[in-house]
Amino acid sequence: EESQEEQPVETPKQEFVLDEQARKEITKEAAEDNAMLAALQAKVEEKSSYNETKTTPLPLLEVIGQYKDSYILAGCMQGLAVIDQKAAQARVEYEKLQTTLNDHPVMMDLLVPVTIHASDDEMQRIEEINQAMQELHLSFEPFGKDTLMVRSVPSWMKDLAQEQFLNDLLDAFLQEKDLHFAKTQKKQIALLASKNSVHVHQKLTMEEMKNILIQLAECQNPWNDPSGRPIVMIVEESQLLKGLGR
């Protein structure tokens, strides 16, 4: 008899089923792994302790130089400090202006009056606007059908982008519609003024950079600009060494 070829015997597939205890163990290990990853992520994103509170004073900073006409580089005990010079100047001006806005400033007569294009609404409300601006010692005069003119400004405005600041001031007043606007919105006005007092990409001498840091250190909140953005970032020495493979 011819031998018949043996057919392979198929074994039935068995489903792998975890018992309850094994399932609990795996779930527990996964939770522990996630917790560990979250802790590592938090460590990576952890900010320098010197930026935790607004009232923490700046460390002693020694100017090294300037980067791209925008950032002051300074050494400190903790490592390397990078200071946004525009944000630093805005903070200094903001705090300074909050204390001087409603004082009796020296007035400056402008050789060339500032002219501002005005809407029909602004032209019709000129008396109301001037009443609200008395606290700032500003006076707007009609000049033609759609223009307002300012002939003199307080001394704290001498370094501002005056036309832009006055435009921003009118816009803010029209939104508030408050005759005591200059008094009640002191912070908002100081914020507008600080934004118009700083020039972007400005080359600074070593003396100018030192002066900015001295003034910044005297601020109530040297860590954030008036809008809340960070001013100073400290790269700690341990991070520098790690990045350089030391």
Greater pLDDT, 140 or 165: 140
- What is the reported pLDDT for 27? 72
Mean pLDDT throughout 144-151?
Answer: 94
User: With 70 as the cut, is the pLDDT of residue 44 above it?
Assistant: no
pLDDT of residue 173: 80
Phi, psi of 71 (to 5 degrees): -130, 135
Q: What value does the mean pLDDT take over residues 120-146?
A: 89
Task: Give the pLDDT score at 115.
Answer: 95
pLDDT at 46: 42
Average pLDDT over residues 225-235: 89
pLDDT at 209: 94
From residue 113, alpha-carbon distances to 140, 143, 240 in Å are: 11, 11, 53
State pLDDT tens for residues 11-34. 555 554 556 776 677 677 767 656
Residue 34 has a pLDDT of: 61
| C-alpha separations of 176 from 171, 172, 229, 230 in Å | 9, 6, 25, 28
How large is the average pLDDT for residues 193-221? 85
pLDDT digits (tens, 9 = 90+) for 66-122: 999 999 999 999 999 999 998 998 898 888 877 776 566 788 999 999 999 999 989
Taken in order 152, 153, 159, 163, is the CA torsion positive or negative?
negative
Look at residue 234 in the predicted model and tell me its pLDDT: 92
- Residue 134: pLDDT above 50? yes
Residue 4: which pLDDT band, with cuts at 50, 70 and 90? low
What percent of the chain clears pLDDT 90, i.e. is strictly above it?
33
Here the tokens at position 208 are 């100018």
> For the segment 154-167, what is each residue's pLDDT rounded down to a tens digit?
887 887 788 888 98
> Hey, what amino acid is at 239?
Q
DSSP character for 142?
Answer: E
In angstroms, the CA 227 to CA 224 distance is 8
If one compares 41 and 134, the residue with the highest pLDDT of the two is 134
Cα separation of 76 and 58, whole Å? 10
- pTM for the full model? 0.57
Single-letter code of the amino acid located at 114: V
Q: Compute the distance between CA of residue 76 and CA of residue 47 in angstroms, rounded to an integer.
A: 16
H-only helix segments in the chain: 20-45, 85-100, 120-124, 126-133, 162-176, 181-184, 186-195, 206-217, 237-243
**Confidence (pLDDT) at 14:** 53
pLDDT class for 49, splitting at 50, 70, 90?
very low
Strand pairing of 79-84 and 62-67? unpaired
